[in-house]
Amino acid sequence: MKDRFFLYFEQGLPKGTSQQIRHNRYTGRCYKDAKLENSENQFRLALRPHAPKKPSDKPIKLSVFFYFDVKNKKLWGQPKPTRPDTENYLKLFKDCMTKEGYWQDDAQVVDEHIKKFYAEKACIVVEYKEIEE
């Protein structure tokens, strides 16, 4: 199975990353702050229409291109060397893909390609493919 799709965001890409999980030192519990909850909800809503009928149980190759909107036309198409960093941003995104049923566990992703760019409109391009064993 191979799939490629585009996710568009009118208000820009969600701002939260997986680093925003907080720890309460008194109770010992971890919790998500409001920014992280909001980001997760936006990702899940955007991903839901593209989710497969059943989660994959095979190894996955995943390519994700994050396009962050910016007004400066000179930057469009240029790599984005500023925050958020790719690994924490992708971790949140993959967790959302797992919750929406793209695969059983994000540990199945054995090959990742991540890029982030500036663009006119906020968008995420996702391509994932099952790797035949």
Across the range 81-107, mean pLDDT stands at 94
In the predicted structure, residue 128 carries a pLDDT above the cut 70? yes
In the predicted structure, residue 133 carries a pLDDT above the cut 80? no
- What interhelical angle do 34-47 and 86-99 show, nearest 10? 60
In the predicted structure, residue 7 carries a pLDDT above the cut 60? yes
Residues with Cβ < 8 Å from 36, sequence gap 6 or more? 16, 17, 18, 20, 21, 92
Q: Check residue 6 and give its pLDDT.
A: 97
Domains annotated on the chain, with CATH: 2-130 (3.30.1330.70)
Q: Is the peptide bond before 84 cis (omega within 30 degrees of 0)?
A: yes
Regarding predicted confidence, which is higher, 108 or 17? 108
Among 8-12, 18-22, 23-27, 51-55, the range scoring the smallest mean pLDDT is: 18-22
